[in-house]
Amino acid sequence: MIKLYNSLTRKKEEFKPIKPGAVSMYTCGPTVYWYAHVGNLRTYIFEDVLKRVLEYAGYKAKHVMNITDVGHLTSDENTGEDKMEKGAARENKSVWEIAKMYTDAFKKDLGTLNIEEPDVWVKATDTIKEQIDLIKKLEEKGFTYVIEDGVYFDTAKLENYGRLWPNKLDIKTRARVEVVAGKKNDPDFALWKLTPAGVKRQMEWDSPWGKGFPGWHTECVVMSCDNLGIPFDIHCGGIDHILIHHTNEIAQAEAVYGGPMCNYWLHGEYLNLKGEKIAKSSGNIVLVDDLVKKGINPLAYRYLCFTTHYRIPLSFSWESIEAADSALKSLYDKVRMLKTAVKEIPAEYSEQALDYKAQFTAAIEDDLNMPKALAVLWQAAKDQNFVQAEKLALLLDFDRVLGFKLNSVKAEAIPAGILELARQREQARRNKDWAKSDELRGQAGAAGYLIEDTPTGSKIKKI
């Protein structure tokens, strides 16, 4: 049974899919005006693990992600400057070029971090017509009003607005609220922003209300519901989306469709750097490339993310990523040693292996308890009384969720005769025949190979 913490009910709940055996999930994608930083990528790693856990449990996932290539202003409130136009001006490129360049960079980062790509990518600029249609429906139902700045959603018209907020008072403390002249209620948000007279924007479209562009909160409703149906199973994003973006998605979907948009809302906590939230706007930034430049395996960042539960803030430091990098190296050494020693992966698991698998599954299915899952992995990896072939099979199986690419770890080219000596020695040690064990070790040494005993089992090295 998979349990997930649902931000909507503020409880851990058993996951019950709408269609048996299938799961529909939507994750808010990047705004492609700059590189994704490791904070953004913590959220995408959490979502990747969620999808892998569901697949590990046998669900067939349909995963949709958007690319925000228009209409995300510097404030979530839909005020301030257009992030895309700002990025284009900074780099002396067109908005379209910026969008393409940073979409490609984002996909590359996903690959580098072994984050599975969604089944469906949708760009905001490819769904302008559908977004206009949604706004028209909201207008027909009386949820909108027009002011000089654009078309706004009247939140007072919707009973239950703000159901996702952990605390009703949050609306008073929401950061970055900027005043827009003519807005009826503070939380009202733009559905369509009109291009002011005399201004020419690089990205603007005709609409029944005039030239302009859609507000950021509309695209995700269109792309999720059009691709997954309504309601769908899971919607996720970073914790900063609860108060505004996801609240406003729910408002539009419920106003148009009259029912819930989605059953489970999951949110990942922040990654912090020097005690502050990592944010593109503050310059407090680390990119995937920075890890690579420092000689750190980017997959160590996955490892680091798994050391803290996704609903707890995580601090990034160079010490912590280096520690994760060396832990991952030890795991690779272990797998290399096992691959070198093991001839054949067993077709069936023993009870011992099944017990480890059950512990691992219980951890990941308990609201993605990855720190616990890592602990089970190491316990199995270090267990000296656990047959090597099964150990290897199990580690590779766990990697379907962890995504450390253990499959690509290569066995060392150690001669078959030496491997045989090591195997016989392992047997002798199990029988507590220390004299035989020493003799076999001596034979390997004479042939130029050192059989080393480590707390996690024996290793073979060329002398």
Q: Shortest gap between Cβ of 241 and ligand AMP (angstroms)?
A: 5
Segment near ligand AMP (CB under 6 A); pick from 35-43, 132-140, 145-153, 409-417: 35-43
Q: Which entry of ligand AMP, Zn ion, none binds 278, CB below 5 to 8 A by partner kind?
A: ligand AMP
Q: Round to whole Å and give the CA distance between 66 and 124.
A: 7
Segment near Zn ion (CB under 5 A); pick from 103-111, 171-179, 215-223, 440-448: 215-223
Between the CA atoms of 389, 394, 400 and 404, what dihedral angle is there, to the nearest 10 degrees? -70
Q: Shortest gap between Cβ of 318 and ligand AMP (angstroms)?
A: 17
Q: Shortest gap between Cβ of 324 and ligand AMP (angstroms)?
A: 17
For residues 377 and 391, is the Cβ–Cβ distance under 8 A? no
Please count the other Cβ atoms lying within 10 Å of the Cβ belonging to residue 310.
25
- When the beta carbons of 57 and 285 are compared against ligand AMP, the nearer one is 285
30 counts as binding ligand AMP under rule CB under 6 A: yes
Instruction: State the number of CA atoms in the 13 A half-sphere of 427 facing the CB.
Output: 7
Specify the length of the chain in residues.
463
Instruction: State the number of CA atoms in the 13 A half-sphere of 445 facing the CB.
Output: 9
**Interacting positions 253-282 with ligand AMP (CB under 6 A):** 270-271, 277-278
- When the beta carbons of 164 and 392 are compared against Zn ion, the nearer one is 164
One-letter identity of residue 130: E
For residues 277 and 288, is the Cβ–Cβ distance under 8 A? no
55 Cβ partners below 8 Å, 6+ apart? 61, 400
Residue of 23, 25, 28, 88 that binds Zn ion (CB under 5 A) = 28
Q: Shortest gap between Cβ of 22 and ligand AMP (angstroms)?
A: 24
Q: Which entry of Zn ion, ligand AMP, none binds 220, CB below 5 to 8 A by partner kind?
A: Zn ion
Segment near ligand AMP (CB under 6 A); pick from 25-33, 135-143, 185-193, 327-335: 25-33
**Residue 52: exposure state from Cβ atoms within 10 A (0-12, 13-18, ≥19):** buried
Q: Which entry of ligand AMP, Zn ion, none binds 240, CB below 5 to 8 A by partner kind?
A: ligand AMP
Phi/psi at 318 (5° precision): -65, -30
Q: Shortest gap between Cβ of 77 and ligand AMP (angstroms)?
A: 14
For residues 68 and 31, is the Cβ–Cβ distance under 8 A? yes
**Interacting positions 422-461 with Zn ion (CB under 5 A):** none
- When the beta carbons of 84 and 444 are compared against ligand AMP, the nearer one is 84
Task: Report how many helices (DSSP H) and strands (DSSP E) the chain contains, helices first.
Answer: 15, 16
Window 36-65: contact mask with ligand AMP (x via CB under 6 A): ---xx-xx----------------------
Residue 245 is classified by DSSP as I
- When the beta carbons of 242 and 440 are compared against ligand AMP, the nearer one is 242
Residue of 149, 233, 240, 426 that binds ligand AMP (CB under 6 A) = 240
Residue of 71, 214, 237, 457 that binds ligand AMP (CB under 6 A) = 237
**Interacting positions 354-383 with Zn ion (CB under 5 A):** none
Residue of 23, 38, 84, 220 that binds Zn ion (CB under 5 A) = 220
Q: Which entry of ligand AMP, Zn ion, none binds 391, CB below 5 to 8 A by partner kind?
A: none
246 counts as binding ligand AMP under rule CB under 6 A: no
* SS3 state of residue 192: strand
Residue of 31, 127, 263, 458 that binds ligand AMP (CB under 6 A) = 31
Q: Which entry of Zn ion, ligand AMP, none binds 403, CB below 5 to 8 A by partner kind?
A: none
Instruction: Return the H-helix or E-strand segment holding 382.
Output: helix 370-382
For residues 410 and 360, is the Cβ–Cβ distance under 8 A? no
- Residue sitting closest to ligand AMP (CB): 238
For residues 454 and 330, is the Cβ–Cβ distance under 8 A? no
Q: Round to whole Å and give the CA distance between 69 and 110.
A: 18
Segment near ligand AMP (CB under 6 A); pick from 27-35, 54-62, 285-293, 351-359: 27-35
Hunting for tokens 């024996």 — which residue is that? 458
Pairing of strands 144-147, 150-153: antiparallel
169 Cβ partners below 8 Å, 6+ apart? none
Which residue ranges make up the site for Zn ion (CB under 5 A)?
A: 28, 220
